[in-house]
């Protein structure tokens, strides 16, 4: 299954936030059982936020690791314009949706499902995705 991974899921792992266990288990399925995709703008934002809290080396190393299993949605002007017309309050979230549509994602995996109301691509949390698509084995701590 093709998944657009929202930046907040990646930040869970990079910054060891409370959602890290579920996010890490979801990410571990990408490149194997599922295809992981990112929005282009997520890479810059991810770098900025990790570098601000950790270091530039940590930021680049994390991104290099992510790009080992994730692909980047091919987006440009048309997708940015389409994002402007989506019925969403947060433009960054609309850009995520536009990237998900561009790469043909079946789901946007995010910590902010409610922010994606009105999205033509359904949003789901890492834990809900694991429960739905991997069964109970997806939630075991391994």
- Measure the CA–CA gap between 109 and 106, rounded to whole angstroms: 10
pTM over 0.85: yes
Distance spanning both ends of the chain, measured CA to CA: 22
CATH homologous superfamily of 2-134: 5'-nuclease (3.40.50.1010)
Q: What is the pLDDT of residues 70-124, one digit of tens each?
A: 999 999 999 999 999 999 999 999 999 999 999 999 999 999 999 999 899 999 9
Angle between helices 56-66 and 7-14 (to 10 degrees): 120
């Amino acid at each position: 299954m093709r998944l657009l991974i929202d930046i907040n899921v990646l930040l869970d792992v990079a910054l060891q936030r409370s959602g890290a266990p579920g996010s890490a288990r979801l990410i571990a399925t990408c490149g194997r059982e599922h295809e992981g995709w990112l929005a282009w703008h997520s890479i810059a934002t991810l770098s900025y936020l990790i570098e601000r809290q950790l270091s530039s080396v940590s930021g680049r190393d994390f991104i290099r690791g992510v790009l080992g299993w994730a692909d980047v949605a091919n987006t440009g002007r048309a997708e940015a314009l389409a994002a402007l017309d989506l019925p969403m309050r947060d433009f960054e979230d609309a850009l995520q949706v536009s990237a998900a549509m561009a790469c043909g994602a079946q789901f946007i995996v995010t910590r902010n499902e409610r922010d994606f109301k009105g999205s033509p691509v359904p949003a789901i949390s890492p834990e809900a995705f694991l429960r739905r698509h991997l069964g109970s084995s997806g939630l075991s701590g391994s």
